[in-house]
Amino acid sequence: MAVEIIILAAGKGKRMHSDLPKVLHTIGGKPILQHLLETTRKLKPHRTHIVVGYGKDQVIESIESQFSNSTPAPEITPEINWVEQKEQRGTAHAVIQALPYIDTNATVLILNGDVPLISLQTLKKISRPGNKLNLLTSKMLDPTGLGRIIRNNKNQITGISEEKDASDQQKKITEVNTNCLSVKADYLSRWLPRISCKNAQKEYYLTDVIACAFEDNIEIVGIASNCVTETSGVNSKADLGKLERLYQARQADRIMASGVTLLDSSRFDLRGSCQFGTDCVVDINVILEGNVKIGNRVLIGPNTLIRNATIGDNCVIESNSVIDNAIIGNNCNIGPFARIRPETVLNDEVRIGNFVEIKKSSIGNKSKVNHLSYVGDSEVGKNVNIGAGVITCNYDGADKHQTIIGNDVFIGSDSQLIAPLEIGDGATVGAGSTITNNIQKNALGVSRARQTSIDNWKRPVRTGQKHTVVKKTRRNFKN
């Protein structure tokens, strides 16, 4: 029997205090709804129907772009049928909008769109086909705000009471509804028209199908969740923050299980995917975003951000560095306080020092840019030494231009290289030069005002009277 999924994602999420639809708030750098879809697609459902309402165009565009831009591509791209709920009149009303698109012989798995951490194992248990209703429940120490599971004296589930409609005795029940159930589509077609909105919220509750099933002698199977947090929804920024930390703890455990040393697993964030080699050490407050690949024996210092980058073996990334959409070779040393910007390639044994920025450039083997320099739109050869304060002036106010530096070149400190420019192999640029013309192979390029020395020079000495005038001027200025 085919399984079809309905995901309820129409609400704004008023308690989020945000214009962004609730299901688009992120955990681990991905929308909440995407996390759920990445899990449900592994069930290989016939189709997934997502009921949208508030911000529907934004939700559709975001989720479709997330899957189309996934790298690597998802193993199973979900076939999504977007269904609009124009008026938010309750969860049963939302399911009614999707029901016409579903095969009457299918088993329907219904989920809220704000449960990003639910496991595949749990979904497999719930979505088992049969002439019964499967309901996922959970035991909560504090069930405040949640629907209570009502059982009779035979311990059979007979219904669900939402908190606003619950009696004082029912509010003491700690077994709660998780808003996750599965049942045959033809049963839903039979029960949903019987549901009324005569309740505290004047809404059509999907939970009322439990009472319908009991009345029709359909077996209701309560399946207890093994992990309370996997069924936790997001209704506030506080909820979002708690689930973020739970998600990151899972990520850290998985990474450490593969052999990576995290010096403090509670201060590590992975917002995407990462592949580590052996014997890597990651210090505190490191953030990995997008798709990151890290080689063997890599040391990553504290407060470092690495985004969509590949890092070779035996590299050291010093503290407070940023590596963004770049490729780093083997045996490189970067930082501290270095910024490697997109489309940069560092070859083997490159040294990028403190407060250095590299943008859209390739740096050859064993070259060094050690201090306070900017290299942009450049091709730098092997064994090049770029001194402190060197700038490649690549932008003329309208267009970017390229600087090409050959092998074995020495660029003296505090020099400006005005692109477009080529500096030949073995050339030297004298410190403090502004280079506007190409420098040939093995040549010296220098552009400075000639130094003048005056013998027996005496510095001016300020007289007492002048000093008094200055003080008076300053006093008058302050007044």
Q: What is the DSSP string of 83-114?
A: EE-SS---HHHHHHHHGGGS-TTSEEEEEETT
Structure tokens belonging to residue 94: 């939302």
How many other C-beta atoms lie within 10 A of the C-beta of residue 220?
21
Per-residue CA distances from 75 to 50, 71, 79 (Å): 20, 11, 13
How confident is the model over 234-257, as a mean pLDDT? 96
pLDDT of residue 226 exceeding 60, the answer is yes
Contact 239, 258 (CB under 8 A): no
Separation between Cα atoms, residue 221 and residue 210, nearest integer Å: 10
Query: What's residue 465's pLDDT?
Result: 56
Cα–Cα distance measured from residue 288 to residue 268, given in angstroms and rounded to the nearest whole number: 8
Tokens of 450: 């000639």
Q: Which of 266, 268, 259, 353 is nearest to 302 (CA)?
A: 268
Q: How many CA atoms lie within 13 A of 303 on its CB side?
A: 8
Out of 25, 371, 401, 467, which one is annotated catalytic? 371
Residue for token digits 């093995």?
442
Residue 464 has what pLDDT?
66
The set of residues, in sequence order, having a beta carbon less than 8 Å from that of 168 and lying 6+ positions away, is none
Q: Is 417 exposed, middle or buried (0-12, 13-18, 19+ CB in 10 A)?
A: buried
Query: Does residue 71 register a pLDDT over 80?
Result: no
Q: Among 422, 425, 463, 419, which Cα is nearest to 441's?
A: 425
- What is the pLDDT at residue 83? 96
B/e letters for 288-310, b = 16+ CB within 10 Å, e = fewer, are bbbbbbbbebbbbbbbbbbbbbb
List Cβ<8 Å contacts ≥24 apart for 282-290: 283/319, 289/29, 290/29
The whole-number average pLDDT for the span 153-161 is 92
Q: 278 pLDDT exceeds 60?
A: yes
Query: Percentage of the chain with pLDDT > 90?
Result: 81
Task: List CB contacts of 356: < 8 A, sequence separation 6 or more.
Answer: 338, 339, 369, 370, 371, 372, 373, 374, 375
Distance CA 331, CA 315 (A): 5
Identity at 346, one-letter amino acid code = L
Burial (Cβ within 10 Å: 0-12, 13-18, ≥19) of residue 286: buried
pLDDT at 250 over 90: yes
**Average pLDDT of span 279-304:** 98
Where are the extended beta strands (E) located within 100-184? 107-112, 132-139, 148-151, 157-161, 175-184
* N-term to C-term CA, the chain: 88
CA distances from 90 to 51, 367, 388 (A): 12, 64, 65
Tokens (6 digits) for 431: 């410190």
**In whole angstroms, what is the distance from residue 18 CA to residue 90 CA?**
21
d(CA 210, CA 226): 22
What pTM, to 2 d.p., does this model score? Answer: 0.87
For 434, list phi and psi in degrees, rounded to 5.
-110, 110
pLDDT category at 200 given cuts 50, 70, 90 is confident
Cis peptide, bond prior to residue 72, ω within 30 of zero = yes
| Ordered DSSP codes for 240-254 | HHHHHHHHHHHHHHH
Region 105-120: mean pLDDT is 95
Task: Tell me the pLDDT tens digit for each residue of 393-407.
Answer: 999 999 999 999 999
pLDDT band at residue 466 under the 50/70/90 scheme: low
Q: Give yes or no: 371 in active site.
A: yes
Q: What are phi and psi of 46, to 5 degrees?
A: -60, -45
pLDDT computed for residue 470 by the predictor: 43
pLDDT exceeds 70 at position 41: yes
* Torsion 83-88-89-91 (CA) sign: positive
Phi, psi of 445, deg, nearest 5? -110, 125
Q: Between 139 and 377, name the one with better pLDDT.
A: 377
The strand pair at 416-418 and 351-354 is best described as unpaired
Sorted by where each starts, the structural domains of the chain and their CATH numbers stand as 3-231 (3.90.550.10), 259-354 (2.160.10.10), 360-450 (2.160.10.10)
pLDDT-above-70 percentage for the chain? 94
Would you say residue 474 has pLDDT above 70? no
Band of the pLDDT at 479, cuts 50, 70, 90? Answer: very low
User: How far is Cα 47 from Cα 81, in angstroms, rounded to an integer?
Assistant: 7
What is the predicted pLDDT for the residue at 449? 84
Least confident of 6-15, 43-52, 449-458: 449-458
Residue 5 has pLDDT above 70, yes or no: yes
Confidence band for 78, pLDDT divided at 50, 70 and 90: low
Query: Among 87-96, 288-297, 354-363, 384-393, which stretch is predicted with the lowest mean pLDDT?
Result: 87-96
**SS3 state of residue 165:** helix
Q: What is the 3-state secondary structure (H, E, C) of 190-226?
A: HHHHHCCCCCCCCCCCHHHHHHHHHHCCCEEEEEECC
Pairing of strands 421-423, 175-184: unpaired
How far apart are the C-alpha atoms of 435 and 406, rounded to whole Å? Answer: 15
Give the pLDDT score at 351: 98
Q: What is the mean pLDDT of residues 213-217?
A: 94
Asked if 405 contacts 390 with a C-beta cutoff of 8 angstroms, the reply is: no
